[in-house]
Amino acid sequence: MSAADRDALLLQLEIDGFNARYAAALDERRFDDWPQFFLAQGEYVVQARENFDRGLPLALIALESQGMMKDRVYGITQTIYHGPYYTRHVVGPALLLGEEDGRIRAQANYAVFRTRPGDASEVYNVGRYIDAFERTPAGLKLASRRCVYDSEMVLNSLIYPI
Amino acid sequence: MSAADRDALLLQLEIDGFNARYAAALDERRFDDWPQFFLAQGEYVVQARENFDRGLPLALIALESQGMMKDRVYGITQTIYHGPYYTRHVVGPALLLGEEDGRIRAQANYAVFRTRPGDASEVYNVGRYIDAFERTPAGLKLASRRCVYDSEMVLNSLIYPI
Amino acid sequence: MSAADRDALLLQLEIDGFNARYAAALDERRFDDWPQFFLAQGEYVVQARENFDRGLPLALIALESQGMMKDRVYGITQTIYHGPYYTRHVVGPALLLGEEDGRIRAQANYAVFRTRPGDASEVYNVGRYIDAFERTPAGLKLASRRCVYDSEMVLNSLIYPI
């Protein structure tokens, strides 16, 4: 196997594994683990596709550091009054888009299903992760994850991270 | 490539392939093939997340051997009166959780869609497989597959395996 | 790693990557790119599972060359009057089925979600791709992709490729 093939294989494995761990943390409601998938200055944006496609800046959520993410988690778990629900992420194999300035670019399609107590599961939010990863001593971390969702009507308010 | 990297890659490939074959057998209604994904003393459990999270034992279905699975398949295909439906499994790449006592632990998020005759497809059951595999001369087999589903309201009765 | 293992890994990576690029082209509405995933004489068929399972030939859509696909794209983007919608494909890891007469056979389960303006996302079409790939100087190309869908009731008309 050529060195390039080997590296591509290992990177694919690493990113798909990253996405599986990310999904597991959220779906298992280990929200305190969530900011650790990002760099300290990592960026997390949830944006409607309509705005993304037109290059418009408006986003539903835009967090610009781990600190803001921790604050968000505190809000979710301690202060926001909301009807509880489960989430379940099904994420397809990532599409690797190359490396630039030390950042690995990738994207992956996701479907998030929501289940409210006593109710059937429903499609909650579908879209794609547009990611930039950096390699750190603690493994890959997100410099940026942009969740660009198709769903124009967000079912109730979007509480938990996507 | 290091031996550890190589083994991780091959195992990921093997488990994702296993899950794809498992899904294909069920979705193509080759129910007689289903018990063969398990060890003779393999365990198959379908359990609500609410009970799993609290460590409660109650499960919707708990089969403790291939014999019980064959019996279940006989029930499904020969005796249970039920409205027919198609299933379609979409399973994300597995998350490998390590090896212990000769058993490979892994989990994977799944979404099962149901289509009833003349109707649109709908979200049927979403959750995660929590698995323990053993290596046999015939390849990987499930010592245990626990399907922990989010969906609190199971649409009609759950007839076919998840 | 044995040569066979290595080849299997690389092929899996290649086909999952192909499916991710295919999905991205459609979901990002780059319809002009779509015929290029096929050989010049490639075949694209969308068929109800009911007919496929019985060996019946009737299909919703059957295109027998890149030329017909380009014509279809022209129809979609320039002439058909239809309510617009977004699609989102979530495709599971492919199941490799072997090689025959220089063609690589594989299949993969897919779920396509549809979002209409101002509406929630919904399950649109679920099924499996049944594929034959050929290796060309420009990489893998589809000699045939058969989209066999479970969904008996197709939500409105099916405009965009699956």
A120: domain CATH number is 3.10.450.50
Residue A123 predicted with pLDDT over 80: yes
For B119, nearest residue in chain C (alpha carbons): C153
Buried residues in A35-63 as b, exposed as e (16+ CB within 10 A) = bebbbeebbbbbbbbeebeeeeeebeeeb
Q: Is residue B24 part of a domain?
A: yes
pLDDT at A4: 83
pLDDT at A156: 61
Rounded CA-CA distance B75/B54 in Å is 31
- The secondary structure element, H or E, covering residue C42 is strand C38-48
Residue A127 predicted with pLDDT over 70: yes
Which three-class secondary structure string do you get for chain A?
Answer: CCHHHHHHHHHHHHHHHHHHHHHHHHHCCCHHHHHHHEEEEEEEEEEEHHHHHCCCCCCCEEECCHHHHHHHHHHHHHHCCCCCCEEEEEECCCEEEEEECCEEEEEEEEEEEEECCCCCEEEEEEEEEEEEEEEECCEEEEEEEEEEECCCCCCCCCCCCC
Q: Do C109 and B89 touch (CB under 8 A)?
A: yes
Range ranked top by mean pLDDT from A52-61, A69-78, C103-112: C103-112
Residue C48's pLDDT band, with cuts at 50, 70 and 90, is: very high
Residue B43 predicted with pLDDT over 90: yes
Range ranked top by mean pLDDT from B151-155, C72-76, C87-91: C87-91
C119 touches chain A (CB under 8 A): yes
Nearest 5 degrees, angle CA B106-CA A117-CA B95?
A: 10
A24 touches chain C (CB under 8 A): no
Q: Each residue of B86-119: pLDDT tens digit?
A: 999 999 999 999 999 999 999 999 999 999 988 8
Rounded CA-CA distance B44/A9 in Å is 33
ipTM for the predicted complex comes to: 0.93
Q: Do A90 and B107 touch (CB under 8 A)?
A: no
CA distance readout (Å), C119 to A148, A155, C115, C122: 16, 10, 6, 9
Contact residues, chain B, for A18 at CB < 8 Å: none
Q: What is the largest CA-CA distance in chain B?
A: 54
The three-state secondary structure class of B13 is helix
**More confident call, C79 vs A124:** A124
Q: Per-residue pLDDT averaged across B72-88, rounded?
A: 88
Rounded CA-CA distance B128/B150 in Å is 9
Rounded CA-CA distance B115/A9 in Å is 36
- Nearest-CA neighbor of C44 among C29, C61, C30, C27? C61
Rounded CA-CA distance C147/C162 in Å is 7
Residue B80 predicted with pLDDT over 80: no
Q: Do B111 and C107 touch (CB under 8 A)?
A: no
Q: Is residue A156 part of a domain?
A: no
Residue B157 predicted with pLDDT over 80: no
- Nearest-CA neighbor of A87 among A6, A9, A161, A4? A161
CA dihedral C59, C83, C91, A34 (to 10 degrees): -170
Contact B128, A27 (CB under 8 A): yes
Residue C155 predicted with pLDDT over 80: no
Q: Which of A86, A90, A118 sits opposite B92 (nearest CB)?
A: A90
Q: What percent of chain A has pLDDT over 70?
A: 98
B124: closest CA of chain A, how far (Å): 7
Residue C118 predicted with pLDDT over 90: no
Q: Per-residue pLDDT averaged across B30-37, rounded?
A: 98
Q: Is residue B119 part of a domain?
A: yes
Q: Angle at which helices A3-27 and C3-27 pack, to 10 degrees?
A: 60
pLDDT at B39: 98
pLDDT at A87: 96
Domains contained in chain C, number: 1
pLDDT at B79: 80
Q: Is residue B162 part of a domain?
A: no
Residue B54 predicted with pLDDT over 70: yes
For A16, nearest residue in chain C (alpha carbons): C93
Q: Do A123 and C123 touch (CB under 8 A)?
A: yes
pLDDT at B156: 61
C121 touches chain A (CB under 8 A): yes
Q: Is residue B156 part of a domain?
A: no
Rounded CA-CA distance C61/C55 in Å is 16
Cβ neighbours of B34 (radius 10 Å): 21
Q: What are chain B's partners, defined as 3 or more CB pairs within 8 angstroms?
A: A, C
How many CB pairs below 8 Å do chains B and C form together?
Answer: 81
Q: Is residue B158 part of a domain?
A: no
Q: Tokens for A109, please give them.
A: 């399609």
Rounded CA-CA distance B17/B26 in Å is 14
Q: Is residue B121 part of a domain?
A: yes
Q: Tokens for B3, please give them.
A: 């031996």
Contact B124, B112 (CB under 8 A): yes
Q: What's the predicted TM-score (pTM) here?
A: 0.95
Output the average pLDDT for chain B.
93
For C26, nearest residue in chain A (alpha carbons): A109
Contact B19, A90 (CB under 8 A): no
Q: Per-residue pLDDT averaged across C53-59, rounded?
A: 93
What does the radius of gyration of chain A's CA atoms come to, in whole angstroms? 16
pLDDT at A135: 96
Q: Is residue A79 part of a domain?
A: yes
Q: Each residue of B132-147: pLDDT tens digit?
A: 999 999 999 999 999 9
pLDDT at A152: 73
C8 touches chain B (CB under 8 A): yes
B30 touches chain C (CB under 8 A): no
A9 touches chain B (CB under 8 A): yes
Rounded CA-CA distance B39/B64 in Å is 10
pLDDT at C156: 61
Residue B37 predicted with pLDDT over 70: yes
pLDDT at C81: 78
pLDDT at B2: 80
pLDDT at A143: 98
Contact C10, A1 (CB under 8 A): yes
Q: What are chain C's partners, defined as 3 or more CB pairs within 8 angstroms?
A: A, B
Q: Do B49 and A19 touch (CB under 8 A)?
A: no
- Nearest-CA neighbor of C14 among C99, C88, C113, C87? C99
Q: Per-residue pLDDT averaged across A88-114, rounded?
A: 96
Residue C154 predicted with pLDDT over 80: no
pLDDT at A155: 61
Residue C60 predicted with pLDDT over 80: yes
Residue C41's pLDDT band, with cuts at 50, 70 and 90, is: very high
**More confident call, C105 vs B116:** C105
Q: Do B90 and C93 touch (CB under 8 A)?
A: no
Partner residues linked to B148 by β-bridges: B47, B128
B68 touches chain C (CB under 8 A): no
Which residues form the domain of B97?
A: 3-149
